[in-house]
Amino acid sequence: EAGVAQSPRYKIIEKRQSVAFWCNPISGHATLYWYQQILGQGPKLLIQFQNNGVVDDSQLPKDRFSAERLKGVDSTLKIQPAKLEDSAVYLCASSFRVRGLVHEQYFGPGTRLTVT
């Protein structure tokens, strides 16, 4: 089966510019996650969708970050305006859920963002 797809793979922007990342999860996976991975740290959850609804966005800096998953499939994450500290790898993951069972999250290759 095809894995989680992300684009672009790399992006360089100047501070105060805007940027958007795209994610296509594995077919049939209802749950989608966006993580931020700063160099030298583990991934940190930004937002979790169940179908097209938000389950958890408690760690999303909502003054500059936004995300949507309009049709319950693809998702976009936007940063506007970007700051230097947003330089990181943005990982998208997806999973499916069967009641009572725990399934792992499948990760995409990530988008490496550099803010100058």
What is the Cα–Cα distance from 102 to 48, expressed in whole angstroms? 16
Among positions 1, 28, 40, 70, the unique one binding other proteins when judged by CB under 8 A:
40
Nearer to other proteins, 35 or 65 (CB): 35
Residue 25 makes contact with other proteins by CB under 8 A: no
Which among 14-22, 60-68, 74-82, 91-99 is the span making contact with other proteins, rule CB under 8 A? 91-99
Q: Binding to other proteins by residue 36, rule CB under 8 A?
A: no
- The Cα 43–Cα 107 span in angstroms is 11
Query: Nearest to residue 10, comparing CAs of 115, 97, 106?
Result: 115
Residue type, 66: S
Q: How far is the CB of 6 from other proteins (least distance, A)?
A: 8
